Amino acid sequence: MSTPLTVAVPTHNRAARLAETLASIAALRFPDGIAPECLIIDNNSTDDTRGAVEGFARHAPIDVRYVIEPRQGSSYARNRAIAEARGRFILFIDDDAIADPDWAIEMLAELERRQLDAACGLVVPRWEAPPPRWLGPSIYIRLAVHDEGALAAASPDDRDSIHNYYSANAGFRRETFDLFGGFREDLGVVGTNPISGEDTELFQRIMVSGGAIGFAQRARVQHIIGRERMTRRYMRRKSFAFGFGSAIAGGRTHNHLDKLFRNALRMVAAAATGNAERAVYHELECANFFGYWRGRLRTPR
């Protein structure tokens, strides 16, 4: 009997890039005995997302389902995917990511080999244009992409760090959501709102509750990084949003006043010595601090 598998793609107003993502899903290889489906969750798009999906579905080698989730927000879209999925395994990929042909094989192999409740794979950048000189590997985390070389040289424990887990490339057993819950709907990007970190909160919750989560290094996707994301303004906004979201999520924080002073001094020192990457890194740490305390002011005690 075949094992059902769902490849879930939440999407909002990215019809052109979604077509590339879906083309990579059409090229996926699957293990023997797997019955895959592709589930696209349209999070209330106003562009030609439906047309992109219909064009894909006409020639797709796997079953395709299209569902509209009218509540705006990434967590609403992901939780709708969980509710609609028919698979025993649910693999998430973002609508601006390109999967390697063996992505599903490698993700399932890691889940089974280590008996994981959830796994996150390697996300490498695919730059639309050469990145500015300050956008180096220490800043990649702000774009939810990995430094592939550093991870290849890291220990297994370092690869399994919570800081390496991104929902752009993640696999779950269906029962994981029954045991630990889904994505928190008071977190997650909604248009331009300053809240993010819903994926980090879920991965942290699984680990703290005794679940098993690990890094699937060979399950690889490319994350398309457009020009609009290669600006310091965009990076500051994302850093602020993550700090804001971490305050809403609750728990311990490193955002104490000494962190602000330390990062401000290091930012000035790095700028003075011409180290643009480190100057921007500490600038973004300051933005994270301000986002966190803005979130704390909003959160009832």
The tens digit of pLDDT for each residue in 42-65 reads 999 999 999 999 999 999 999 999
The DSSP letter of residue 191 is T
pLDDT-based confidence at residue 301 (cuts at 50, 70, 90)? low
Q: What distance in Å separates the CA atoms of residue 216 and residue 159, rounded to the nearest whole number?
A: 9
Over residues 244-287, the pLDDT tens digits come to: 887 877 767 777 888 899 989 999 999 999 999 999 999 999 99
Q: Are 31 and 88 in contact (CB under 8 A)?
A: no
**Per-residue pLDDT at 29:** 97
Mean predicted confidence (pLDDT) in 232-241: 91
State what percent of residues in the chain have pLDDT above 70.
96
CB atoms within 10 A of CB 44: 15
Domain boundaries, the chain: 3-230, 233-296
**Per-residue pLDDT at 110:** 97
Mean predicted confidence (pLDDT) in 89-105: 97
State what percent of residues in the chain have pLDDT above 90.
79
Q: Are strands 118-127 and 169-173 parallel, antiparallel or unpaired?
A: antiparallel
Q: Which of 193-197, 205-209, 227-231 has the lowest mean pLDDT?
A: 193-197
Beta bridge partners of 222: 98, 124
Whether residue 187 has pLDDT greater than 90: no
**Per-residue pLDDT at 224:** 95
Whether residue 300 has pLDDT greater than 70: no
Whether residue 124 has pLDDT greater than 60: yes
pLDDT-based confidence at residue 26 (cuts at 50, 70, 90)? very high
Mean predicted confidence (pLDDT) in 73-78: 93
Average pLDDT of the chain to the nearest whole number: 92
**Per-residue pLDDT at 256:** 80
Please, how many CA atoms are within 13 Å of residue 228, restricted to the half-sphere of its CB? 2
Tokens of 74: 């990434």
Tokens of 241: 């949003």
Alpha helices in the chain (DSSP H): 15-26, 49-59, 74-84, 103-113, 148-153, 156-159, 174-180, 198-208, 232-249, 257-272, 276-298
**Per-residue pLDDT at 296:** 83
Q: Are 214 and 114 in contact (CB under 8 A)?
A: yes
Please, how many CA atoms are within 13 Å of residue 110, restricted to the half-sphere of its CB? 25
CB atoms within 10 A of CB 61: 12
Give pTM, 2 decimals. Answer: 0.91
Mean predicted confidence (pLDDT) in 92-96: 96
Asked if CATH classification 3.40.640.10 holds for the domain at 3-230, the reply, yes or no, is no
**Per-residue pLDDT at 192:** 56
